[in-house]
A and B are shown apart, each in its own frame.
Chain A
Amino acid sequence: MKLYPTIGLEIHAELLTQSKVFCTCSAQFGGEPNSRCCPVCSGLPGTLPVLNAKAVEYIIKAGYIMNCDISRFTKWDRKNYFYPDLPKAYQISQMPRPVCLGGYVDIESEGETKRMRINRIHLEEDAGKLVHQNRVSLADYNRCGIPLIEIVTEPDFHSAQDVTAFFEKIRLMLQYAGVCDGRLEQGSMRCDVNISLAEKGSDTLGTRTEVKNLNSLKAIQRAVEYEIYRQTELIENGERVIQETLHFNDATGETSSLRSKEDAHDYRYFPDPDIPPIIFTEEELEQIRADIPEMPQQRYDRYVGEYGISPTDASVIINNKAISDLFDNAVKAYNAPKPTASFITVELMRRINLGEANAEELPFAAKELARLIELAETGKISKDNRKVILREMLSSGKAPDDVAEELQLWIKEDNALIEKTVDEILAANPTPVEQYRSGQTKVFGFLMGQCNKALKGSASPAAIKQMLEKKLNS
C-alpha cells in the first residue's frame, strides 16, 4: 500500500500599505505596545471601519499576477469568534464574494513544471499579538487591522518540495508586485497547510489535518514532512487520523493538537453592514493591471535575452528582489550588464551568503556599485581590487573612489615602477626565467602573478605583460 499525500495551502500575506486597512493608523511593523492604535482598530464601541483603497488595489494586483478573475462586485463579511487578540470579537474578512476567484501559478518542483491552482484570494484584517506571562497574557493591538490577503489554493500539492517551491514563488511575486515585503522574520507571510493521505489512485481523500501559522520555509518543509510521516505511521498501524487543527513546534519538530473538529468554530459569517460592497469598472481594473511592475519571469527574460547574461546568473539575481533591483539600478547608472551581473553573483552574493551583508539593507546605493564596476571596466583599478573595495564599501559605506584613493589602488601605469618591479621579480626567480627561455612558456603565468602581486594592482595587466614579455625575450 503506497500512501500519497494531498496538500492544500492557505497563505496569509500582509500588504505594504501606509495605513491600516480600516483606519488611518500606521501599518508599519512593531512599535511600543498599543502605540499604533486608535479607537477604530482597538474596537471601541461606536467606531466604524473605513476601507483603504490601496489595500483593495494591492489584492487586485495579487489576483492578476496569479491569473485570477477579479470580481466586479465584492463585499466584506464578519467572521465572529471570541479571542483576546481580536478586539471586536469578529474579523472583517470576505466569504461569498472575495475580490479574486480562480487562478494558477506555475512552479518548478522535483524537476518538472507544475501548475498549482488558486481557489480564491480575499482581503481581511490581521489580529493583534499576545504575550504570555506567568499569570496573565498581555494583548497588544498594534497589528490589529494590518491588511492581509489570504491565498487559498486547490489541493494540488503532493510533497514538501511542491509546497516550499510554491511559497517561495508566491513570496517573490508579491514582492515584485510591490504588494508584500515578504519578510518572514516579521511575520509578513504565514502559511496554513492542509494534509491528507490516501492510496495512490484512490478517488477518496483521507482525513485531513491542518497545521496552522507556519512562518518560515524551513518550518513549512519540516511540518509537512513530519505530518506525512505521522499520518503514514497512524494509517500503517491501523489507527485513524483525526480531523484536527495542529500547531507545529519548531523546537521538537513535531505537531500537536490545537483543537479537534468537534469544537470547530461556527463563525456565523454575515455581510458587514458597516462596509458598503464595491463595484469596479473595467477602466479601474485596467488601470490597476497596467500599474503592475515587471514580474520575476519578465526580468529573467530581459536579463538573458537583452543582456546576454547566463541563465544561472539571471536566476540568482531575480531570486532576490533587492539584488535584482540593485542590478537594474546599477545597469541604469553604468551600462555594463554582464560584468555587473557576474560581479554581483560571485562577489556580492558571497558576502551576503557569508552573512557579512544583508541584501535588503546594503550600506551603499546602486550607483556606487555601478561606479565600482566602471572603475574596473575603464582600467582605473584592477578587476581583482573590486572585491577589496567592495568589502570596504560594505563595512564602512564609503564611496568606491574614496576607498581606491585611501588604499592607493589606482592603476598608475608608472613604466619606471613596472620596469623596476619586473626586474626584481626576474632576479628573484632565476629558475622559472631559465625554464621560460628554454621554451617552457607556461611559467609566464607564474611570473605574471608575482609581478601583479608586487604591484598591488597599481598597473594594468596589459602593461605588466608587455614589460614582462619585453624583458624575457630580450
Chain B
Amino acid sequence: MELINASLKTLRTMLDNKEISARELAKEYYDRIKKYDPELESYITVTDEQALSDADEAQKRIDEKNAAPLTGIPLAIKDNICTDGIRTTCASRMLENFVPPYNATVIEKLKGQNYVLLGKTSMDEFAMGGSTQTAAFSKTKNPYDITRVPGGSSGGSACAVGAKLAPAALGSDTGGSIRQPASFCGVTGLKPTYGRVSRYGLIAFASSLDQIGPIANSAEDCGILLNAIAGADAHDATSSPAPVEDYTALIGQDIKGLKIALPAEFYSDSTDDEVKSTVLSAAKEYERLGAELVQCNMSSLKYAVAAYYLISGAEAASNLSRFDGIKYGLRGEGKSFDEMIRDSRSKGFGAEVKRRILLGNYALSSGYYDAYYRKALALKQLIIKEYNDIFDKADVILTPTAPTAAYKIGEQESDPVKMYLADICTVTVNIASLPAISLPCGYNADGMPIGMSLVGKRFGEAVLIQTADAYQRGFKYEPNKYTGA
C-alpha cells in the first residue's frame, strides 16, 4: 500500500510494526512538501528540524511499545493555533513575526501523544474569508486545479490533506471554515459541537462560533483526531464537561432506520444545479443503505448570513482590538498612542479584516445595537429552535456544504457581498453550536470535488462519523495531479 494513501489506522500499524520509522514517515511528507508546496502554497511555516526531533521522540515511545493513537503521526496545523516557540501568523502582516510563548490546549494534547508537527498551514487572514486569498502571504491553491481557490478559511489545511502533503490536519471553523475548504479540496472535515474542543490558544475570530476540528482523508481519520483533541479544559470556560466518547465507536454499524432530514431551503435556486443533484444522489445512496429521508423546512435560513456576519463581526471587532503593535505584532509609527495604534492596525490588517472590524463596530455602536446585533442574537435563538424542531423528527440533516464547487481565483474576492452569501450552507451550524461533517460526494464537469454536509445533534459526533463512513465505504475518490492515479 502506498504510504501517502494510508489511513491513520494503517499508519499506526506500520509504525508499530516497524515497517517505517517516525522519522522516515515525516521525511516522506517533507519531500513532498518541498516538491509540491512551492506551487500549492499550503504551508506558511514548515517545521522540519523540529519535526525530525519530534519524530525521534515519538520513535522512542513506539520502541517502548507505548504508542498513543497519534504517536509519530505527522500533522499540519492551521496557523491560527498557537504553538510555543513556533511562529503563528494568522496569515496576517500583523502577526508575521509573532512567536507565541505558549501552546494551545489542542497542541498540548497532541504533544502528549508525541505527534509530529509538519508545519503551520495558510488560511484567510484571521480566518475571515472562504478562499484563502485574503491571506497576506501563502495564498493557497486548489490541488485539483491551481487556478482555483482551495476554499477557506482553512484552505491550507484542506489543500495539504487533499494533495497528500499531510496525512491529516487541524483547522478551525467559525462559519464553515473547515467544511467548505474540505469540500473544495475533496477531503473530509469535521466541525465539532461548540465546546467539544478547547479554544484556548486558538487566535479568536468570533468566540461564540469558533471551533477547532480535524481535516482528513476520511470520517474515520477525523474521528481519530477528534478523540485526541476533545474534552473539557480548565483554560476555556466555554468548553463542555460532557464526557468524551470514542468517536469512531459506531463505525461499521449499519444505518438502517436512520432518519436524514433534507431542509428544502438548502436546495433552492441559489445552489448550483450540479451541486444539488450530486448531493441528492448521495441522499438516494443513503436511502439505499437503509436510511429514511425526511423532508423539512428551515424558514430562518434567509436571515442566517446577515445574523452570522453581525455576530461574528461584532465579536471580531472586539477580539482584534488587542492588536495595537504594543505587546506583539506589527508596530506602526506615530507620536501619540492614538496615531501609533492606528498606523499599526492600518498596516497590519488586510482589506477584508478591516471590513469585518468596521461592520462589527457598526453593529455594536450606539443607536444601531438593537436593530442589528441584538436582532442577530434573537435570530440565533430562532435558528436553534428550528434545528431543535428538525431534530425532533430526524437524526441527522443533509445539506450541500457550499452552493458551488471551487471557483476561479479572483472571481469573488472583489465582491464582499457575493463572498458572504456563499456561506449560506454552513453558518447556521455554527450559530446553533452543532457538529457537522463535510465529505466528498462527487465531482463536477470541471473535475472539481463537490461536498455534502451532515449536521448532527449537539455532541452527536459519533453518529456523524458513523453516517459519513457508511457513505465513504462505497465512494470512489478521484485523484488529483499530486496524489497520482
Taking CB atoms and an 8 Å cut-off, the chain B residues in 102-132 that contact chain A are 102, 104
By the criterion CB–CB under 8 Å, are B237 and A50 in contact? yes
Do residues B321 and A45 form an inter-chain contact, with CB atoms below 8 A?
Answer: no
A87 adjacent to B322 (CB under 8 Å): yes
A83 vs chain B, min Cβ distance (A): 8
Give every chain B residue within 8 A of A84 (Cβ-Cβ): 324, 326, 337
Q: Does A32 count as interface, using CB distance less than 8 angstroms?
A: no
- Contact, CB under 8 Å: B318 / A82: no
Pick the residue among B206, B326, B365 that contacts A266 (CB under 8 A).
B365
B324–A82 CB distance below 8 A: yes
Contact status A48-B199, CB under 8 Å:
yes
B373 partner, pick from A43, A89, A270, beta carbons under 8 A? A270
Do B318 and A78 touch across chains, with their CB atoms under 8 A apart? yes
Interface residues of A in 2-52 (CB under 8 A from B): 39-40, 42-51
Could you say which residues of chain B place their CB within 8 Å of the CB of A42?
327
B375 CB within 8 Å of chain A: no
Interface residue? B136 (CB, 8 A): no
Minimum CB distance partner of B98 in chain A: A45
Residue in chain A with minimal CB distance to B90 = A45
Residues of A within 8 A of B82 (CB): 45-46
> With a CB–CB cut-off of 8 A, which chain B residues contact A275?
237
With an 8 A cutoff between CB atoms, is A80 at the interface?
Answer: yes
Q: Are B202 and A46 in contact (CB under 8 A)?
A: yes
> Could you tell me the distance between the alpha carbons of A468 and B321 in the complex, rounded to whole angstroms?
87
A45 with B328: CB separation less than 8 A: yes
Task: Report A-chain residues with C-beta under 8 Å of the C-beta of B200.
Answer: 46-48
- CB of A388 to closest CB in B, whole Å: 57
Q: In the complex, A275→B317 CA distance in Å?
A: 17
- B322 neighbours in A (Cβ, 8 Å): 43, 45, 87-89
Contacts of A39 in B (CB 8 A): 100-102
Interface size class of A (residues with CB under 8 A): 20 to 34
User: Bound complex: CA of A197 vs CA of B202, how far in Å?
Assistant: 52
List residues of chain A with CB within 8 A of the CB of B159.
none
A296 to chain B, nearest CB (A): 36
- B306-340 interface code vs A (CB 8 A; 1 in, 0 out): 00000000110110011110111000000001100
Name the residue of chain B whose CB is nearest to the CB of A266: B366
The smallest C-beta distance from A10 to any residue of chain B, in angstroms, reads 20
Given contacts A39-B101, A88-B321, A268-B361, contact A82 B366 (CB under 8 A): no
* Chain A residues near B327 (CB-CB < 8 A): 42-44, 87
- Complex interface: chain A residues within 8 A of B104 (CB): 46
Judged by a CB distance under 8 angstroms, whether A139 is at the interface is: yes
The complex places the Cα of A40 from the Cα of B90 at a distance, in Å, of: 19
Distance in angstroms from B249 CB to nearest chain A CB is: 29
CA distance A89 to B328 in the complex (A): 14
Q: Which residue of A lies closest to B82 (CB)?
A: A46
Q: Within 8 Å of chain B (Cβ to Cβ): is A334?
A: no
- A270 B364 Cβ-Cβ under 8 A: yes
Chain A CB within 8 A of B480 CB: no
Q: Complex: how many Å from CA A84 to CA B204?
A: 21
Residues of B with Cβ closer than 8 Å to A?
80-82, 90, 95, 98, 100-102, 104, 199-204, 206-208, 234-238, 314-315, 317-318, 321-324, 326-328, 337-338, 341, 361, 364-366, 369, 373
Write 21 A-B pairs (CB below 8 A) sorted by A numbering.
Answer: A39-B100, A39-B102, A42-B327, A43-B322, A44-B100, A44-B328, A45-B98, A45-B323, A46-B82, A46-B201, A47-B200, A48-B200, A78-B318, A87-B322, A88-B321, A89-B321, A90-B321, A139-B326, A268-B317, A268-B364, A269-B364
With A46-B201, A50-B234, A82-B341 given, can you name 17 additional A-B contacts, CB distance below 8 Å? A40-B235, A45-B203, A45-B322, A45-B328, A46-B80, A46-B82, A46-B104, A46-B200, A48-B235, A49-B237, A82-B338, A84-B324, A90-B321, A268-B317, A268-B318, A273-B238, A273-B315
